[in-house]
Amino acid sequence: MSTYRALHTATLLTNGTVLVAGGFSNDGPDPSALAELYHPRTGTWSLTGSLSHGRWSHTATLLTNGNVLVAGGFENGVGSASSAELYDPSRGTWSFTGAMYDARSSHTATLLTNGKVLAAGGYGFDSDAVASADLYKP
């Protein structure tokens, strides 16, 4: 990778590359917005479009259309966030999508058989446990 990072996500894309997004890096104490692709065939890394907001302890879920949903996590100056972004591997770009009802980090996100994503639990804006769930409908 181009930089050290922790508390990031790694998502296997349909083309066989791995998207690594967000986390903490050695660039400073703020969450990273960097995203990189790992190419297993060549063992190399390349930068791709950056997240709109740096975040860590978020989730990344591969959707049925090949895009990746990144949701929640800790954002700099915000704490736990409700924002969500979509990564389009064909363009290498990110775009905002509908926000979760509850801000959450350290939560789970599960792709359901109907193509929706269930985000549950985690820690909220005030660092209290979140006892709710959100449903993302692509």
Structurally, the chain folds into a number of domains equal to 1
One-letter amino acid identity for 102? D
**Residue 75 and residue 105: Cα distance in Å, rounded?**
9
**Residue 115 and residue 113: Cα distance in Å, rounded?**
5
Nearest Cα to Cα of residue 109 among 100, 99, 119: 119
Range of the domain at 71: 5-136
Structure tokens at 71: 């949701």
Q: What is the pLDDT of residues 101-127, one digit of tens each?
A: 999 999 999 999 999 999 999 999 777
**Residue 129 and residue 67: Cα distance in Å, rounded?**
29
Q: What is the pLDDT of residues 70-104, one digit of tens each?
A: 999 998 767 899 999 999 999 999 999 989 999 99
Q: What is the pLDDT of residues 34-61, one digit of tens each?
A: 999 999 999 999 999 999 989 999 999 9
Name all contacts of 42-51 with Cβ < 8 Å and 24+ positions apart: 45/1, 45/2, 47/2, 48/19, 48/87, 48/92, 49/87, 49/91, 49/92, 49/93, 49/94, 50/94, 51/21, 51/22, 51/85, 51/94
Q: What is the pTM of this model?
A: 0.94
| CATH number for the domain that contains residue 113 | 2.120.10.80
